[in-house]
Structures are given as C-alpha cells and as structure tokens.
Structure 1
Amino acid sequence: MRIITGIYKGRHFDVPRSFKARPTTDFAKENIFNVLNAYICFEDATALDLFSGTGSISLELVSRGCSNVIGIEKDRDHHAFICQCLKKLDTDACTPIRGDVFRFLKSCRMQFDFIFADPPYALKELADIPDIIFTKDLLKEGGIFVLEHGKEQDFSQHPHFIEHRAYGSVNFSIFK
C-alpha cells in the first residue's frame, strides 16, 4: 500500500497477508482523487474515513493536507496497523477510532468537508449509508461524500448523487 501524493508521497506500508480488508487499489485511489480535486480542496479540510480497513484513505487524506481525519475501523488488528502507520509518519492529523461505524454515525455531532466510506461490498446496510450521512447532516455546506461499492449498486437516483466512476471492479458514487 502506498501514498499517492502529498507530503508523504511514495511512502509504502506492507499490509499483513492475514488481513481480510482489501485496500482500494492504487489505480482506483489515484483516479478517484484526481476526480475529487475538481470538487474539494483537501488542504486544511476535515475528513471522515468510514470502514478504514488498512487506513489507505486516511493516510492519503493526511498526506494531502487534511487538518483532521477521523478513521473508523472495527477490526482490532486493522486498527492497530493504522495506528502503527500513523506513528511511522509521526502525525497527529488523524484520529483512528476502533468501533462500529453505525454506532459512531448515530452519535456523531460533527460535520466534515469530506466523507469516504468503503464498506464490505456484501454489507446488508450498504445501501442505507448515503441516507444516514445526509439525514444526520454530517457534511458541511459544499461537502463531498464518496461511497465505494460493487457494481450491483446504483445510487444514481439518490437526491444527493452527482457522479459515478468505475475503475475495474471498484465503483465510486459521489454525493454532494
């Protein structure tokens, strides 16, 4: 896993083979961030990374200048790996929280400039995530939400949907 650009550009982290999480591929990550640059400036932005997995997106957001990133990951080993990566970068711009995403969202009182969610594609509540984000008013004015999902889901009829991008088997729906 590598950081694509920013102050930590090129840094590599070896994800243990035992991990269940599938990090967003470098190809897909680079392309979606190229698209997102037209929608948001990450410098000093606040961000929320849901289902952080290996922390790939959280690390990328910190590298791109986000002032505050909160990453939510339920798995103990994955959370520990994210903490190790952040320690190697010697940054406090990211707060990794070990916990359930839906519990976090239920109690969250913050708003963010950017929210990224990469749930397991088979998660039965996956289709509910955009509604939760907008019902809870978690995005700041002009904020962007990106949901990574499988090809079976179609969010084009959602009232906040603005764009869909696919890179191989990785699909992203962008909401505003």
Structure 2
Amino acid sequence: MRIISGEFKGRRLTAPKKLPVRPTTDMAKEALFNIINNTYYFDDISVLDLFSGTGNISYEFASRGTQDITAVDENFGCIKFINETSDVFEMSINTVKSDVYKFLEQNNKTYDVIFADPPYDFTLEQFSKIPELVFNQNLLAENGVLIVEHSKYTKLDTLEYFNYSKIYGGNCFSFFSKKDDA
C-alpha cells in the first residue's frame, strides 16, 4: 500500500502479513479522497477511522494535514502497526484498541468524517449497526459524513441516513448523513 497524496505522497508501507486486513485499493482510495477533498479542508477536520486495520485511511488523512484522527480496531497487531508507522512519520493518530460497536456506544466526541471499513462478509444487520450507532449517539458534527466501505455486491441503500454510493472496482463507498429539513 502507498500514500497517494500530501506530505508523504508515494511512501510505501508494508504491513505484517499476519494482520487480518484487506487494505483499500489505491484506485478506490484516490477516488474517495477526491470526493472528500471537494467538501472539506483536511487541516480543519476531525476523523474517526473504524475497523482501521493497517491504518491506510488514517495515514492518507494525516498526510493531507489532518491533525485530529482516531483509529479504532480490536486487533492488537493492527493497533501496534498503526502506532509504529505514525511514530516513524510523526503523524498525530490516536489509536484505540476496542470493539468498534462498544467504542461507538461509549464515545461522546463528534467527528466531521467517520470512515468505517468492516469485513466485507458482514451481514446487513452488522452493517446497519454502524450508521445506527453513529446517528443515535450524535457522533457526526454538523455537515459531517459517515462513509462505509463494502463490497459492490452489498447494498446499503435501504438503511436510514443513506445518501448515495460510489463503486470503484470491487469496492463500494456508501455515504450517510443527516438530510436537510429544508
């Protein structure tokens, strides 16, 4: 995997093979960040990276200037790798080793961007718990967005707060936010 833009553009990162991860492809990541770039100033936002795995998405935000990043994963090896990598690059990524659902239930901070990359084999019920907890706990800042990465074969368009999705290869990003009442 590589960092595609920002201060650390072009840097390649090699995660240990034993980590239970499926990093977002460079093509999909580049498309995703083009969308985010049209909405936010990276140095002004707070980011929550759920099911963070290798930290691929967190590094991309940090490379583009985001200082307030929290990466959550329940795997100790993933958290250790993110901590080691962010130390090497002097990135301000706060890691939390936790079950994502428990973290969402107990957290009270708000974020501009919440990115979730759960296992692709999740059931619709498991996927639906993510936006349910994010919105019930009011974890999104005003004009914030929840982005859930999933397989293009998984359809999340029936879930509450769903806005739209974009497909890139086998990856799909579904965007969730509160709709304007106006």
TM-score by length of 1: 0.94
Q: Deviations over 1:121-144 (max 9, x none)?
A: 123412221111111110000011
Aligned to 1:123: 122
Q: Which amino acid aligns with 2:111?
A: F
Unaligned runs of 5+ in 2: 178-182
Quote the Cα distance in structure 2 between the aligned partners of 1:172 and 1:157: 14
Structure 1 residue 159 displacement after superposition: 4.1
Aligned to 1:51: 51
Aligned to 2:86: 86
Structure 1 residue 8 displacement after superposition: 1.5
* Pairs aligned (count): 175
Quote the Cα distance in structure 1 between the aligned partners of 2:40 and 2:132: 21
Structure 1 residue 5 displacement after superposition: 0.7
Q: Deviations over 1:66-110 (max 9, x none)?
A: 12100001111111111111011022x210111111111010010
Q: Give the root-mean-square deviation of aligned CA atoms.
A: 1.3
Structure 1 residue 117 displacement after superposition: 0.1
CA contact (8 A) 1:44 1:66 kept: yes
**Residue 29 in 1 paired to residue 61 in 2?**
no
Q: Which amino acid aligns with 2:50?
A: L
CA contact (8 A) 1:79 1:96 kept: yes
CA contact (8 A) 1:39 1:144 kept: no
Quote the Cα distance in structure 1 between the aligned partners of 2:4 and 2:20: 22
Q: Percent identity?
A: 38
Structure 1 window deviating more from structure 2 (151-160 vs 165-174): it is 151-160
Unaligned runs of 5+ in 1: none
CA contact (8 A) 1:40 1:144 kept: no
Aligned to 1:104: 103
